[in-house]
């Protein structure tokens, strides 16, 4: 009985250690580039202040991820990521009870295209890939009297919340397996 138990134990140990020997941490994807320059976001949307916030958030997301090195100039980079905002769509979702012409809740959709190419512009990994994020915002102050606030002020406050998922979506497009 002891021999059978020791043989089963040895067999289990061999199976477990054999399976674990091939485990690799991370995605295992080899990229053609090790450093990336993130160009300032270009905008032709009616949201010019979004460019600086989005560029900063994209850079911070890539730096935090750590799979590639973010550099400050295209000359230092193996790859260049260019992002162009194409639009900001607003949709009224609910109206204020006191004035049906004013929105209480709005949906914002920010859309852009991204291009990833090598620094010498000889190889393009992807061009004009669509990226979009959506969020909802309230244009009142949340109190019982539902005093409306400026729609523009509410959009400015929402911009960082749009920037974070936008940057994560770009990170996935650039570094994950396509």
Distance (Å, whole) CA 146 – CA 97:
9
Q: Is residue 56 part of a domain?
A: yes
Please check the confidence at residue 31 and state whether its pLDDT lies above 80. Answer: no
* pLDDT (tens digit per residue) in 7-27: 777 776 766 776 555 555 555
Distance (Å, whole) CA 65 – CA 171:
8
Q: Give the CATH number of the domain where residue 125 resides.
A: 3.30.160.150
- Per the structure, the complete domain to which residue 126 belongs is given by 30-175
- Give the chain's domain count: 1
Q: Is residue 93 part of a domain?
A: yes
* pLDDT (tens digit per residue) in 52-110: 889 999 999 999 999 999 999 999 999 999 999 988 777 665 655 555 555 566 777 88
CB 31 within 8 A of CB 68: yes
Look at strands 69-71 and 35-38 and give their pairing.
Answer: parallel
**pTM reported for the whole predicted model:** 0.72
Q: Is residue 165 part of a domain?
A: yes
Q: Which residues pair with 115 in a beta bridge?
A: 82
Name every residue whose Cβ is closer than 8 Å to that of residue 104 and which is 6 or more positions away in sequence. 94, 95, 96, 97, 138, 139, 140, 146, 148
Q: Is residue 21 part of a domain?
A: no
Q: Is residue 71 part of a domain?
A: yes
């Amino acid at each position: 009985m002891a021999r059978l138990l020791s043989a089963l134990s040895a067999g289990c140990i061999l199976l477990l250690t054999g399976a674990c020997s091939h485990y690799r941490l991370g995605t295992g994807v080899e990229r053609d580039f090790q450093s990336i320059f993130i160009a300032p976001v270009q905008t032709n949307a009616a949201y010019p202040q979004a460019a600086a916030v989005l560029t900063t958030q994209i850079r911070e997301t890539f730096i935090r991820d750590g799979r590639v090195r973010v550099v400050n100039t295209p000359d230092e980079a193996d790859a260049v990521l260019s992002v162009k905002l194409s639009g900001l769509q607003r949709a009224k979702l609910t109206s204020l009870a006191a004035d049906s012409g004013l929105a209480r809740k709005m949906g914002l959709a920010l859309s852009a295209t991204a291009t990833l190419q090598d620094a010498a512009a000889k190889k393009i990994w992807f061009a004009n890939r669509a990226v979009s994020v959506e969020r909802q915002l309230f244009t009142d102050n949340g109190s019982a009297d539902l005093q409306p606030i400026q729609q523009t002020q509410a959009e400015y406050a929402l911009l960082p919340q749009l920037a974070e998922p936008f940057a994560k979506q770009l990170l996935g497009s650039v570094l994950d397996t396509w």
